[in-house]
Amino acid sequence: MILNDLLKRISEKKKKLDSIQPFKKKAIKSLEEWLRVELTYSSNAIEGNTLTRFETAEVLEKGISAVISGKALRDQLEAVNHAQAIEFIKKLAKKRKYHTEITEADINAIHRIILTRIIDESAGKYRESEIFVRGSSVEFPQPVQVPYLMREFIRWISVQKKTHPVLIAAEAHYRLVSIHPYIDGNGRTARLLMNLILIVNGYPMAVIRAEERTKYLSLLEQAQLKNYLNPYYRFIGVSVERSLDAYINAVDGKPVISVIAETEKKKLKKFTPDTYAELLKIGELAKETDETIHTLRYWTKEELLKVSGYTEGGYQLYHPDMIKRAKDIRRLQSEKRLTLAEIKKLFV
Q: Is 261 annotated as a binding residue?
A: no
Q: Is 81 annotated as a binding residue?
A: no
DSSP state of 21: P
- Per the DSSP assignment, residues forming a β-bridge with 310 are 316
Interaxial angle between packed helices 104-115 and 73-95, expressed in degrees from 0 to 180 and rounded to the nearest 10: 150
* 72 Rama sector, left if φ>0, alpha if ψ -120 to 50, beta otherwise: beta
Furthest C-alpha separation in the chain: 61
d(CA 153, CA 104): 9
Q: Is 186 annotated as a binding residue?
A: yes
111 is known as an active-site residue: no
Cβ-contact 126, 146 below 8 angstroms: yes
Q: Is 27 annotated as a binding residue?
A: no
Q: What angle do CA 76, 80, 86 make, to 5 degrees?
A: 145
Catalytic residue among 99, 180, 294, 319: 180
Residues 6+ apart with CB under 8 A from 13: 241, 244, 245, 248
Q: Is 155 annotated as a binding residue?
A: no
d(CA 292, CA 84): 32
Distance of CA 331 to the CA centre of its chain: 32
Q: Is 48 annotated as a binding residue?
A: no
Length of the chain: 348
3-state DSSP assignment of residue 142? coil
Residue type, 99: H
Q: Is 252 annotated as a binding residue?
A: no
Residue type, 322: M
Feature table: binding site: 184-191
Feature table: binding site for ATP: 184-191
**Where in the sequence numbering do the catalytic residues fall?**
180
